[in-house]
Amino acid sequence: MARALGIDLGTTHSLAAYVDGRNRPRLVPVEDGRVLLPSAVHYGEGGAVEVGESALRRAAERPLDTVLSVKRLLGRAPSELPEGERSLFRIDGGGPALRLRVEGGRRAVTPVEVSAEILRVLKARAAAALGGAPGGCVVTVPAWFDDAQRQATRDAGRLAGLEVLRLLPEPTAAALAYGLDKRVQGTFAVYDLGGGTFDLSVLRLEAGLFEVKATAGDTRLGGDDMDQAVADWLLGRAGLRPEGQPPGTRHGALAAARALRERLSGEPEAEAALELPGGERRSARLDRAGLEELIRPVVERTVAPCLRALRDAGLAPEALDGVVLVGGATRTPLVRRRVREIFGREPLHDVDPDTAVALGAAIQADALDRGGREDLLLLDVIPLSLGVEMMGGGVERIVPRNSTIPATAAQLFTTSADGQTGLVVHVVQGERELARDCRSLARFTLRGIPPMPAGLAQVEITYAVDADGILSVAARERATGLEQRIQVKPTYGLSEEEVEAMLVEALEHADEDVAARLLAEWRVEGRRLAAALESALAEDGRLLAAEEREEIELRLRGLVEACAGDDPLAIQAWAESLDGAARGFAERRMDEHVGRAVKGRRVEELE
């Protein structure tokens, strides 16, 4: 039976999970037994696409052809990107949808297409782990994602060939994994600080009911911002201004900053090495106190959403039964201390912050795939108010934020001029009082209203929000029954026609795409194996007899030549041949290195 997947499409890492035959959620291994797939996509020559660790390694050498943190770009317009982020990409200037130029500028891709590449790899790895194609899936999104970002996520799933059963807010997914595992009940705050987004959700857990009471957050706040602060410090220590540096230098600084921040989560002091233009390397040491001064402004930005969500839920911090930490950035000691200060209690971190979201999504996917479970009911809320622009530019809210979804709400409107036969409906999302300060989602005109004096026509506008938080709008003139309805397709997303065209193109080129991916993957594996053997021969070649070394070097040359060609099966054959020939050499090296490590030491020292 095809298993449904839970997918955490993350800013820094992505992962997938499923529920096994014993009703236990399991993580899907993606690379060398690891479950975290770096959310990195590299576009190489000839259309080859690499995803994951190999793509991440390309970021410094080919920064403009490698897309990192694509989640922060979903559903955004080019004008919405800060200058610091714009400099990391080649932005295509044509059209309202954000497009990135890759492959040396020869190809344009959207964030939806980049995200679909990550989802395709997760789907393929799940198929390998499960012995067959997975069934439907639940994809998680930040609770604070607006309609455009949710639509873009769903489009990415469709483009990857996935049946998206539901979009599930990340804090709800984490609470689902935590609550069902711990069998807890009560009211909890879920503090979710990932690589690029932050959410604070207040949930009530009781006998299988997971009810979101309120949510708040920031879709441009996370570990990436901490890394940027540290990267700027590293560049400054190297005598460089952070602004105006080439993309390769910026990517290198961000990678060094991320490694430094992660080490300082467990060590009091650490050193980072930064490679400058021209190949010069500079080192800098930083202690935990110094790190905390650099990232404190980022952590402080999480405070206001926490207080707002509590206020919307009508709760004081002491009324909570616990605070659950989710997201890799919550491993930072400063974050944990600040959460303790905000909520007046020690946060719960006995669930893995990197995997809880995927595990919860798998539980929900399994429930939906089997037609629902009697012991599980999720009630989510809409994060941002939905309204319509009024005469004069004001906003009339129709669905207030934190309304439980699915939700339907309607209001009556009328004409403002005598003889008016049409009514423009401008759909907006946000909390500001003027439409120009809110997110514009859609605009359409209801035509054919009978001409009559101003104020007499009655037009009912109905907003319907589904379980994914995606909006449909209908406008109906009561006297004639004239009606127009649309599913809102955000201004800066891809049109339905564009998505369909991409799906058709993907089907038409499926065989060559698979071949290109297979070639790229085996080239990466072949080059990795060749480099490891060359290094081993240089270091410990004396362990080999002359004829053994000659045999290994013969197969090594064959592998290198195959990697320069276009036949993935040839690369695979030479790699397996070389691996078999070098197995005895690897065992001898291991024995010698272990022998050196234990030489002269007492047995009790090794216990």
Task: Identify whether the C-beta of residue 362 lies closer than 8 Å to the C-beta of residue 18.
Answer: yes
CA distance 451 to 428: 27
Cβ within 8 Å of residue 605, ≥6 positions away? none
Given 71, 147, 354, 389, which residue is catalytic? 71
The helix/strand/coil state of 320 is coil
Question: 502: how many CB neighbours lie within 10 A of its CB?
Answer: 18
User: 161 vs 28, 364, 498, 506, CA distance in Å?
Assistant: 18, 20, 15, 9
Beta bridge partners of 37: 14
Is 192 one of the catalytic residues?
yes
Given 8, 65, 224, 225, which residue is catalytic? 8
Given 170, 199, 232, 468, which residue is catalytic? 170
| Helix %, strand %, coil % of the chain (to 5) | 45, 25, 30
CA distance 520 to 151: 30
CA distance 219 to 198: 6
For 400-510, strand residue ranges (E) read: 404-405, 407-413, 422-429, 439-447, 459-465, 471-477, 483-487
Residue among 352, 326, 355 nearest 339 (CA)? 326
Residue 311, CB-side half-sphere exposure with 13 Å CA sphere: 8
CA distance 520 to 514: 10
Task: Identify whether the C-beta of residue 489 lies closer than 8 Å to the C-beta of residue 495.
Answer: yes
Is 155 one of the catalytic residues?
no
Is 170 one of the catalytic residues?
yes
Residue type, 541: G
Residue 362, CB-side half-sphere exposure with 13 Å CA sphere: 25
| Longest CA pairwise span in the chain (Å) | 101
Phi, psi of 41 (to 5 degrees): -130, 125
CA distance 229 to 233: 6
Is 8 one of the catalytic residues?
yes
Given 50, 146, 192, 389, which residue is catalytic? 192
Phi, psi of 443 (to 5 degrees): -150, 125
Residue count (the chain) = 607
- What amino acid positions are annotated as catalytic residues? 8, 71, 170, 192
